[in-house]
Structure formats: C-alpha cells, structure tokens
Chains A and B, each alone.
Chain A
Amino acid sequence: MTLKKKLLALAAIPLAAVLGLSACSSGAVERSGSEASPRAGGSLTYVENSYGPPWSPHLVGPYEHSNLYVNIADTLVYNDPKKGEVPYLATSWDVSADKTEYTFHLRKGVTFSDGTPLDADAVKLNLDQLGLGDAALGITPLPYFSGYVSTTVEDAHTLTLKWAQPNYYTLKLLGIPAASIIAPSTLKLPATEQSKIQNVVGSGPFTVDSVKKNEQVVLKRRAGYDWAPSTSPNKGAAYLDTVTIKYVGDASLRDGALQSGQADIVRGVYPSDESGLRDQGDVIESIDASKSYYPYSITFRVNNPLVSDVRVREAITRAIDTKAFVKSVLSKSYTAAADVYGHTNAQFIDQSSKLSYDRKKAARLLDDAGWSLGSDGVREKDGTPLKIVIASNQNQAFAKDFGDYVVDQLGKVGIEVENRAGDNSYINYARSFDTGNQVALHIGQGWVPDGLRNFSLKSFTNLAADPKLTTWFQQERSSTTAADVRRYSSLQQKWLIDNYWVDPIVDEVQVYGSVPQLHGVRYSTDLGTSFQAAYLAK
C-alpha cells in the first residue's frame, strides 16, 4: 500500500462520519464469489461489543451471549425468520388436544462434544432446570418457563413436556438460545461452575477452543456435525475451521477493524459509519429483531411522581420527534417505531397517531397538568422543577446520541434532562426494585419471546404492575388459537400506549458489517448469529 493510500484510509473514519448523513448509498447487498460452491476451511474474525459473562447456559443474556451459544449448542426447535418454528434437534412433535402436553421426537445419533449421547434423559435434565431450576445448585428457573410441570421420558428419543395450562409460545421458547440443550456433565455442576464457558459442553457445530477473558473466544469446527436446522443451507459440519470472536467496546473502533481488514464481520455498526464502509465495498445489513425484541423504547416509571400524571407522559412522548431522529442521526437501517411491537411482529398494530410529534400539544398538556414555565425556562409545580435523568441500556451504538436528542427535544418544552445513557452503574441503579423508581424514564429494548412480559408484569423495565395487564398477559400466554393471542395481545398493546406507559422509539435491529467474501451467516428470529453455514469465498 502506498503512503498516499494509507493516509486516505486514515482519513476515511472521520470522513465517513462527516459524509454519513448526506451520502446514503443503495442498500443492495452485493457479495463477491460464487454462492453455489461453499469453500471449506478458513478462519473468520468476528468482532462483538463486550465480553459478556457470566456464560451460564439457560440464561437470557445480552446479544453476546446468544451469539456464542447458537454456535456451540443446538435447540429442540429452530426459530427461522421466514418459516417460523422448524425441526432442529426435535425432528417432529405432537401436541395433546388440551395443548398442555408436547411430545418431541429427537433426532437419532446426536452427541455432545464430549461424546455423550444427546438423548431424552439429557433433554429432560435441561427442561427441568429451565422450568424448575435447581435450588441446591443455585440455578433459578427461567421466568419464560413459568407453568412448567414436568418432562417425562417415553423412550431414548421421545419425551413429553407438560405445562400446568396451555402455553401458546412453547415451540418458540424451545428455540431461543437460552433453551440450548447442554450436556448433563455441565448441568450437574453448581451455578458457580456453569458460569465458566470452558465448562459448557454443547452439541453445536463449533466447540470452544480457547478463551482469553475480556479479549477473545476461539471456536473450533466440530467434525462430524450433521444435525443443523432443517432450513440451513448446510446440512453438515461447519465450513470454517475456526471463528475468533473479538470484543471491542468502541463502535468506531469496531467499524475501523472492518475497514482496515482486521475483521470479517462486526456487530453494532455506528450509524454514521455505514455509508463509508459501504463505499469501501463492505456489506452493511440491518437484521430485523422485532419478532423477538420490543423496540428501543422509553418506559415511564409511573410510580415516579414526576411522570405519574398521564398528561406528562403524553407530553414527553409528543415532544420527541422520533422520525426526525431516525432520519437525521440514524440511517436507512432503522425504522421509527409505531407500537410496542416492531412492524414485522405478527402482533403489530399501527398506533403511530397516538405517538406522533406535536410540540404544541406537549406544551399544552404540561400547562394543563400544572407544570408552568419558570423564569429559567424550566417548568415547575409547587416549587418542584421538572428535571429528569435518563438511563439507557447499551445494546445500541446510538444510545448516547438518543439521550442527547432527548435533552434537546424536551428542553424545548421546558423539561430539563440529564443524559446518563452510557453510564452502566446508573442503569443498574435505575433497574433496581429498591432505587429504580427514583429514575423517571428507562430506555432500552428487550425480549418478547412470550408476549409483553417486561411491560405487562412488574419488571425492572417499568417497576410497576397493573392487574388488567397481568390478566391479559396470562390469558394471551395460555391461549390455544392465534385469534385469542391477537385479542389479548392487542388489549395490552393499546392499553400501554393509551396510558402512555411506553413510548416506542426505534424498531429493534442489529446492524452488521461484513466483508463481501463472507457468505451464509444465519440469523435466527432471536438474532443468534450462526456461522454453521458461513464460508469465506476466495
């Protein structure tokens, strides 16, 4: 490389930041090499955001957790983004007439990477820990599996899962990365040992080869693997010899890794770097997560006195011009949200009219609620100024930018905002049952594998419960028909927006950047990033 080229490459990062807003190139995915002939061999470098222990299986962790687990373990069912729940470790299933019993027929000949068989006994142990936990080992049951009664082993390859009442989301839940089937040798360890990734034995297309804490995890191809999901283009073992997962916290450095050829694929591309990377020939993909995640949203803590009045909550919702934020700060990879579900979720209802930007109405609502403008431009009521602090989780590279945007937008209607997005200890404070209600807004996205749990039940997101929501949530979950699910779900969706408990901002997506030679990366509905069918073309 000539010096001039090097200097050009050097200039590209700030340039990308400057040009990003104006020069949006086409979103077409162009990959090089032949799709028809996957190349075996090669090493892939995948750059993730942050090293995310504890690595315990059966734990709904951040994306980093799922993205590792889908490569080292398998699930009974695969959540295919196009075809829904398809066979994986279970080749077929039968459901009882009352929809409380699911009988699974396991694929034969599957082994864990320690050589032990993946049979009905092993699956039962997994389901028991998911549904009941194991107090002696320090394992808590996964809340999504509440209502689990038991698993009965019928024969070596057949088992029956029993619920106390129907669970409409059974198959979907068995496909989430947290429901990975793990070897009994791991599950018999106490929680303090299950949390170490080197102790986790799965049946997946890769095994953990080496770990350098906080720096990297190296995955090695497992020879002989031939039990991929039925929809995978690769029926056999992985093509890649190794996958090295690196952890880089800074979004611009991740993009720099891709730009400088030090990474083949990165997760969490910074919005303003997208066009620069595309111009260089890299592939930018916005992977839709709306089937498993609710949008990046503001959740109001209705028990906080500053936002206990619905008029204040509507005013805040109306005062933030979300569409302008998506357009000016984000990129074409993102869509402004219009419901507590993203646009591609089956339950989506367009509620955008209740969420639309209207600064005048916002000011009027605040006046009506008794918050009048003080001499310093900040509204106050009975001597209390309308000052709020915002906390956000870190799953989006734009979290801090959104916080800054909220400071600006709410400032224009007389609400003073302190942006603490990006401060991890503050988000922990904001999520605590004891201290969380001192923080008026919580911002972030979250899982919805079995309905609007984080909103309809008391959770760290809302820190409040409403009996109507709870009832509808339970009715939705125990429904047996899609029509009933729709009915009870829409009741919750409308109630949450009508009462301004939630202000959805941006549909959840994860933006990946990759080199054009990379083919076949598979993203499940839950956004597990699988490299089982991936290969690097020459």
Chain B
Amino acid sequence: MTRAGGLWVVLRKLVEAAATVFVIFTIAFLLVNLLKGDVVENYLNGQGAAYSRAQLDQLRAFYGYDQPLWIRYFSQLAGIVRGDFGYSLSKGDSVDALVASAAGQTAALAATSVVFVLALTFVIGFLATYERVPARIAAAARVLPTFFSVVPPSWLGIVVLTVFSIGLRVISLYPDGGIGSLVAPAVVVAVCIFSSTAQVYISQVRKVSAEPYVDVFRVAGVSPSRLYFRHVLANIWPPFLTVFGFTVALTFSGTVVTEIVFNRDGLGRLLLDAVTNNDITLIQGLIVIIAIVFVVINMLTDGIVGALNARESAHDPAGYEVLA
C-alpha cells in the first residue's frame, strides 16, 4: 500500500463517516417530527396550572416550533455543522451544554466498564479454554457469560446498592467522586455485557487451537502456557477486536439503566428523559451525537484491524491467514 493510497483511504473513510451522520440526522429529524406530543405543551403542563392555547402558541413561536418543517430542517442542519444542537426546553439548557456535562460522566463510566469487560473476558475466557483448568470449572466458565447476559442491569444495580451501600456501607449511594461510586456501576455494566467478547474469545481460542500448526508446536515440545499465550492468543485478535468494538459501543446502552439506578448524570439518562418529555430537539441532538461517537469508534476499530492485518502480512508474508 502506498502512502498516497493510505491518505486516500482515510479521506474516503471521513467522507463516508460524514455521509453516515448526515443520513442519520435526516432520518432522526423526520422520525422525531412524526412523534405525537409536544415539548412545549409538556413544559406548560409540567407546571400544574391551566394554560391557554394562546399561551401555548406564543411559546411555540418563541422556541421556533411553529416554523415549517423544511426551514427547521435546514436551520438545524446548519446548527449541527456549527456544533449547535439546539435548546432543550424540558431540561432548560442547550443540548451541547447538557451533553458536555453528561458525556464526561458517561465516558468515565463506559471506559471503566470496558476495563472490567476486558478483565472479565480474559479471566472467564482463560478459565474456559486453558487446557490445565479442571473440566468442571471450565464448563462453568463457558456458561457464565450467557448466564450474565440475561441479568437485567437495573435489577443488578439495585442489588449492588442495597448490599454494598445500604447494607455494608462500603460505597456511596450517590456519585461522590470516589472510586467506589464509579467502579460499582461499571462492574454492573460489564457483567451484563461481557458475554459477546467472552464468547468470541472462547470460540476463537478453540478454533485456533484446532489448527494443525498448534499440534506441530505441541509435538515440538512447546509448553502449554507458552503455546497458549504466544501462539494461540496471538491469533485471535482480528475477530475479537471487531466484536470488542461493538461491545464498546454497547457499553453506552448499558450505561442508560445504570446511570438512573446509580443516580448519575449521563447520556443514557439524558436520552431517556428526552424521550419521556417528547423533547424532540434533545432526542435528535443526542441521536446525532451518539451516531458521531459510533462512527468514530467504528473507524478506529477498522483502522486498528487494518493495521494489524498489514503488520501480520508484512511480518509473515507466507504465514497464517487471518480469519475474518
């Protein structure tokens, strides 16, 4: 691959990403405008007093909800290009400010969750596949991921808080900046979503272990641990990383429920509140922002997989072909 070719690939990826975001914005815009209900009406009704139609119309005009659809479409598109995602009436703040305050929280939670996903994946995956682990433990480790994938995070969250915060009093019930109030929700998210990475780890290790070259190494007297870590694990990465990328994206959906149970600010909670209040500006802003995050993660994963493939073929031109 030439240097200019690489640049061309990057450029093409960026254009694809921008097009994806544009299409998602357009679909989101059309869908939220089909929603029954009205954020201005919810805002007034939320105040508990009987308002008149005239007051409702006046406020609709103030916030621009009375404009024709196509004018709103283009003005919002222009706003997004400028980084302005509109004003959320139900939250009384601009979408960017809300996201800015929530994103850091969600990112911290998601990043910590990812660490635990990896830890759980490797520990469980190792126990399930390493040949010297007793068969009973290995069998248990193989079913654990499936078992946890059906545990609802809201339930697990309440259990964790009841046991560790209210009962044992070792973590705070609310986010207090301490490590415990970040680790607890992160573990809950990780436990509920690590099944796909664990399963791909297990299946890939088994697949690679069945390759003839592994038997060759074994016959040649390579120790089981060296065989496992040097020769088997080294070859599970490309499919593993693809699934891992999805799981990273999935942590964001895992955070929705966890943020509410653990009384945290975050993107998931914001999205739920937006839907509840028919706050179409906020729903749309969040969809577009989350789409951007997904697209970027996808690009990065593709990039890493591509680089690994390139390295693999450069390193061992005639060697092992990667399974896609």
Residues of A within 8 A of B (CB): 1, 6-7, 9-11, 13, 53-56, 59-62, 135, 138, 140-144, 191-192, 195-196, 212-216, 246-250, 252-253, 256-257, 259-262, 424-425, 428-429, 431-435, 446-447, 453-454, 457-461
Contacts and interface: CB of A to CB of B under 8 A. Distances in A.
A143 B87 CA distance: 24
B215 interface: no
12 contacts: A55-B92, A60-B48, A61-B47, A138-B62, A212-B175, A214-B270, A253-B161, A256-B162, A257-B166, A261-B169, A431-B41, A434-B36
Interface string B43-61: 1111111111101101100
Contact of A249 (B162, B169, B263, B278): B263
A65 to B, nearest CB: 9
A190 to B, nearest CB: 9
Interface string B73-100: 0000000000000010111111000100
A214 B53 contact: no
Nearest to B42: A428
Interface of B: 36-38, 41-53, 55-56, 58-59, 62-63, 87, 89-94, 98, 101-102, 158, 161-163, 165-169, 172-175, 260-261, 263-266, 269-270, 275-278
B165 A262 contact: yes
Contacts of A13: 162, 166-167
Contacts of B175: 212, 215
A10 B91 contact: no
B48 A6 contact: no
Contacts of B53: 433
Given A9-B166, A54-B93, A256-B165, 13 more contacts: A11-B167, A54-B43, A54-B89, A59-B47, A140-B59, A214-B265, A215-B265, A249-B260, A256-B173, A262-B173, A425-B277, A433-B41, A433-B53
B263 A9 contact: no
A256 B172 CA distance: 11
B13 to A, nearest CB: 34
A425 B47 CA distance: 16
A248 B94 CA distance: 24
Given A215-B264, A246-B174, A460-B45, A54 B90 contact: yes
B265 A142 contact: no
Contacts of A247: 263
Contacts of A457: 50
B58 A453 contact: no
A425 B276 contact: yes
B174 A428 contact: no
Given A191-B62, A212-B265, A215-B263, A143 B166 contact: no
B273 to A, nearest CB: 8
B174 A215 contact: yes
Given A10-B167, A246-B263, A256-B161, A140 B89 contact: no
A260 B50 contact: no
Given A53-B93, A213-B102, A61 B46 contact: yes
B277 to A, nearest CB: 7
Contacts of B166: 9-10, 13, 253, 256-257, 259-260
B173 A424 contact: no
Contacts of B158: 250, 252-253
Contact of A435 (B36, B44, B52, B174): B36
B165 A260 contact: yes
A129 B94 CA distance: 23
Contact of B50 (A10, A248, A424, A459): A459
A268 B44 CA distance: 24
B262 to A, nearest CB: 9
B265 A454 contact: no
A428 B50 contact: no
Nearest to A58: B47
Contact of B48 (A141, A214, A454): A454
Contacts of B263: 214-215, 246-249, 253
A212 to B, nearest CB: 6
Contact of A56 (B92, B264, B270, B276): B92
